[in-house]
Chain A
Amino acid sequence: MERHRYPIWVISLFVVVSVLVQSKLPLWLPHTSWLDLPLIVTIYFGLSYRDSIRGMSIGAVAGLLQDALSHGPIGINGVTKTLVGFFTSSVSGRIEVDHTLIRMTALWFYSVVNLGLFAVLERVFFASRFSWAHYHFVFTPLLNVALGLPLFILGDRLRKRD
């Protein structure tokens, strides 16, 4: 299986921009808060790199930056995206993940996983103080899939050429 490589600036740009956009977009489009752009970036680089440590690291940085811009505690998104990045890259090392359908499935699945992990952490740390709507588990993965596929294509164009 082919292992893709990206310039560091591409990775950094994707991570930072995703976090910044995720923090600004809901100001203009309220329902976009259901999106999780840093998660899409994490899944994408996890699937592309096929290296657990890299995938995990990108996820951790993306999550921590996301937390840094939120009013919540730093680390809760870091933990979920660390796990997502790790398992995404682990799985991508075993199967071919460049196919669109697989990418869609991966986006949906890891979005659900991310929400699940977040819910667990939220329950552990905040004792369900936050109001959770079940439709998050429906719409967020779908939105992530919908926005993730074009971003994946954009990312593919920025790969390093050997």
Chain B
Amino acid sequence: MNAFLTRRKNWVALSLTLLTQLVLLGTQVTDRNNVRFLRIWANFLIIPAEQFTSATVDLTSDVWHHYIALRHASEENRQLKERIQALSLEKNRLDAEVQGSQRLKALLDLKEAAPWASVASEVIGSSPSEAFKSIILNTGANAGLTNNLPVLTPEGVVGRIVRVSAHSSWVQLITDSESGVGVVFEKSRIHGVAKGSGGSLLDIEYVVNEENISVGDVIRTSGEDQIYPKDLLVGTVVAMRSGSGIFKRITAVPAAQLSRLEEVLVMKKTPRRE
């Protein structure tokens, strides 16, 4: 550096002298906008540097903030997913509550409309054996339940109690193969017996071939079995054909949603106390 300065001392001296005088000029002379040239030169020199610095800082800041934002976005995404899951669960819970409320309201309506006293029960289980169609209720002898009490939902007949413990009871569904319900066709008033098919349907027996039965006919309890009160909804005819013997082969679908039971009403067959 020193060697360069020594070798080029004339030019260095010239540059310094000129620079000094130009600065001196710049402090005195102004442009048309009355801005001193020194300020213009200073701006000319400093502004690109400032712009470069600003752009660098902005770029760095931008990159940094985007990086942070991405990190935050990832975290936010995770939180939002958790929030969505929580909200979905909450919605499902609320939907279930609404549905439960609707079911309970319907059950309450049924309870108030029924001539007999009744006990509302919650379904707490079902038969672990496919061969037996039954459910377990959370009420039992302590609630005054006994065997052969009919179990209903607002949609229709569910079954009857076949076993009772102190705090629970077992209900044989009308679709159980050992179940039989005295029924009457609503329109034709023809009597029959609704027997469980062991599946999800009912076989209506003891209806002679000559009777005029149609698909879609509604079936209600006849009360003849001494278990189910009269005129409770049992199901609807979905298939029918003449049998090889004297009776028709009629298939009906239960009115109650037996596969989705949650609350039921157990009728106690005693007059309701107002």
Which residues of A are at the interface with B, using a C-beta cutoff of 8 A?
52-53, 56-57, 60, 63-64, 73-76, 78-79, 82-83, 86, 90, 121, 125-127
Contact = CB atoms under 8 A, between A and B. Distances in A.
Contacts of B21: 60, 63-64, 75, 78-79, 82
B226 interface: no
Contacts of A73: 24-25, 28-29
A31 B31 CA distance: 30
Contacts of A79: 18, 21-22, 25
A76 B25 CA distance: 7
Interface in B1-29: 9-10, 13-14, 17-18, 21-22, 24-25, 28-29
Which residue, B25, B28, B31, has most C-beta atoms of chain A within 10 A? B25
A64 B13 CA distance: 16
Closest 5 CB pairs of A and B: A75-B25, A73-B28, A52-B10, A75-B21, A75-B24
Contacts of B13: 52-53, 56
28 contacts: A53-B9, A53-B10, A53-B13, A56-B13, A60-B21, A63-B21, A73-B24, A73-B25, A73-B29, A75-B21, A75-B22, A75-B24, A75-B25, A78-B21, A78-B24, A79-B18, A79-B21, A79-B25, A82-B14, A82-B17, A82-B18, A86-B14, A90-B10, A125-B25, A125-B29, A125-B37, A127-B31, A127-B32
A63 to B, nearest CB: 8
A129 B224 CA distance: 124
Contacts of A60: 17, 21
A56 B15 CA distance: 11
A15 B98 CA distance: 108
B14 A56 contact: yes
Which residue, A75, A76, A83, A127, has most C-beta atoms of chain B within 10 A? A75
A1 to B, nearest CB: 17
B23 to A, nearest CB: 8
Nearest to A74: B24
A78 B32 CA distance: 23
A75 B24 CA distance: 6
A78 B17 CA distance: 9
A94 to B, nearest CB: 13
Nearest to B14: A86
Nearest to B9: A53
A45 B215 CA distance: 132
A62 to B, nearest CB: 12
A74 B24 CA distance: 7
A75 B18 CA distance: 9
Nearest to A60: B17
Contacts of A53: 9-10, 13
Nearest to A76: B25
A76 B37 CA distance: 13
A75 B28 contact: yes
A52 B18 CA distance: 14
